[in-house]
Structure 1
Amino acid sequence: MKTLICKGDLMNLGYKEHTASSIIKQAKTIMVYNKNIPFYNNRRLGLVPREVVESLIGVKLDME
């Protein structure tokens, strides 16, 4: 089971490119400001924890 998600994974689940990018950007903001992890304050980083994305969209993801 993958613990990190990128824009491509969200697009494979059916999200449009802009929506997937927006979700990743929001997840990075949560990681930097709410969880105090400055590592995610990098514009080239595209992987975010799965749990954060699941909390944003409100759906448990099955990435098998």
Structure 2
Amino acid sequence: MTTITYKDLMKFGYKEHTARSVIAQAKQYMVKCGYPFYNNKRLGAVPASAVERIVGFSLTQESEKNHDS
């Protein structure tokens, strides 16, 4: 399972506040899905699939494109 942090999102072009907000939303989503482990302030990495659900596109395909260029 690939995890994403706010710093990874910043590499995709998101501003810091927006990136942190997306991670927070993904953590809330994971808690709603039954993973109380993500209800932790200090935890900053979330599954890529949760972030993809928030942003609406696949980050794994985007990162592969960025590495090919």
TM-score by length of 2: 0.84
Aligned to 1:13: 12
CA RMSD of aligned residues (A): 1.2
Q: CA deviation at 1:63?
A: 2.6
Provide Cα deviations, 1:19-48, integer angstroms capped at 9, x if missing partner.
000000000000012x11010010000000
TM-score by length of 1: 0.90
CA distance in structure 2 between the aligned counterparts of 1:41 and 1:63, rounded to whole angstroms:
27
Name the count of aligned residue pairs: 62
- Runs of 4+ aligned residues of structure 1 deviating over 3 Å after TM superposition are none
Aligned to 1:58: 56
Aligned to 2:23: 24
Q: What is the percent sequence identity of the aligned residues? A: 55
The higher radius of gyration belongs to: 2
Whose relative contact order is higher, 1 or 2, with alpha carbons under 8 Å and at least 6 apart? 1
CA distance in structure 2 between the aligned counterparts of 1:6 and 1:55, rounded to whole angstroms:
15
CA distance in structure 2 between the aligned counterparts of 1:44 and 1:54, rounded to whole angstroms:
21
